[in-house]
Structure 1
Amino acid sequence: MIVGLGGGIASGKTEASTYLQEQYQFNMIDTDVLAREVVMPGQKAYQEIVSHFGNGILLADGSLDRSKLRELIFSDVAEKTWLESVTHPAIRSLMQEKIKAAPKNAVTLLVSPLLYESEQYKLCYRNILIIAPVKIRTQRAVSRDSSSVDIVNSIINQQMPDEQKLEIADFIITNDSTITAFHHKLDAIAQTLLELAKS
């Protein structure tokens, strides 16, 4: 049973997926991990990105400087569109391979920041949406990623508004309080999913 887990930047997706994996042994397909895999040195997408942006986009070890790349694409819509045209098909192909290989009698989380934007939610039996006020998400992202407020706001503005996602999601969690409260909300959803998996 594939269950989508989505939400905007710094909404709490990583905390939620880690908790559900550790507490309930849910399997996990994380598109952020897949996104790193498809741009590793030697991969086709990596070669195309380096050819396009030049060696200045690389770290000393030859891997992509993801922070620099993020700043480039979120300050230039055309570059963002180009990068997505290279990486998204590769990520989707790898994601579909992982979905086919997922255990049949267990819950598998498909964790994706673009679950709703890229219509990946259509591949899932149920979908979870994590939301939080923009002010809280901005503070979290700036603290976590050492990004500027402008970069974070640019990312938020380019993502689908929560209001649209609310119309699609089956389960909605507001993550604006304590970690304990967040975990309690996840527990309730996990129990429901486990019951659905049995039926």
Structure 2
Amino acid sequence: MIIGLTGGIGSGKTAAANYFSSAHDIHVVDADLKSRVVVEPGKPALQHIVDRFGAEILLEDGQLNRAALRQQVFSDPQQRVWLEQLLHPLIREEIISDLHSAASPYALLVSPLLVESGQHRLTSRVIVVDVPEELQLARTATRDQVSEQQVRAIMQVQAQREARLRQAHDVIVNDRDLAHLHQQVDALHQQYLAMLQEKEI
């Protein structure tokens, strides 16, 4: 069973995924990490990005300057569409390969664009980590040291909160402390184990 985990920027997806992994030994595949793998130096996708945006899109060590690329694509929807068409199929291949290696009772696919990219079609269930927008803005601006305006631009690209919640089978409400988040993960873990047992009977 593959379970998707998503939520807007600053919602606490990573904290939830880390706890599934550390407390319950669940295999976690992070789509964000896969998106870095496909643009590593020497990978064809990085060369395509340089051809389109110029060498100034690279850091001095030849790595992709993700902040510079983000600025380009979030200010121009056409550039964002081009980039997604290049990267999404490559990221999908990496994700599928990693999911197939899972040895835990179920695997978790963590992705901020789970719904928008169609990655939710790889999953049996979807968990949404939900948080009020004002809290999302405040957390992200503090964590990433970026302006509220940039956070809002990223939030515009991600599914709107209501649209994301419509796709959810399960919701983790992350508007309190970590202990509250962990309780909800524990409960979901037990629920998924029970579902898997039922399937075996």
Equivalent runs, 1:1-199 vs 2, <5 Å = 1-103=1-103, 106-199=105-198
Q: Deviations over 1:124-153 (max 9, x none)?
A: 122101111111111111111122211110
Q: Deviations over 1:144-184 (max 9, x none)?
A: 11222111101111211121222221101111111111111
On the 8 A contact 2:130/2:171 being kept in 1, the answer is yes
Deviates more, 1:74-83 or 1:12-21: 74-83
In 2, Cα distance between equivalents of 1:24 and 1:100:
19
RMSD of aligned Cα (Å): 1.3
In 2, Cα distance between equivalents of 1:33 and 1:182:
23
Structure 1 residue 196, shift from structure 2 partner = 2.0
Q: Deviations over 1:40-92 (max 9, x none)?
A: 00111111011111111111111011111112211111111111111111101
In 2, Cα distance between equivalents of 1:19 and 1:42:
34
What residue identity is the alignment partner of 1:145? D
Task: Return structure 1 stretches of 4+ with deviation > 4 angstroms.
Answer: none
In 2, Cα distance between equivalents of 1:35 and 1:70:
13
Structure 1 residue 197, shift from structure 2 partner = 2.7
The number of residue pairs the alignment matches comes to 198
On the 8 A contact 2:88/2:117 being kept in 1, the answer is no
Secondary structure of the equivalent of 2:37?
helix
The gaps in structure 2 that reach 5 residues or longer are none
Secondary structure of the equivalent of 1:74?
helix
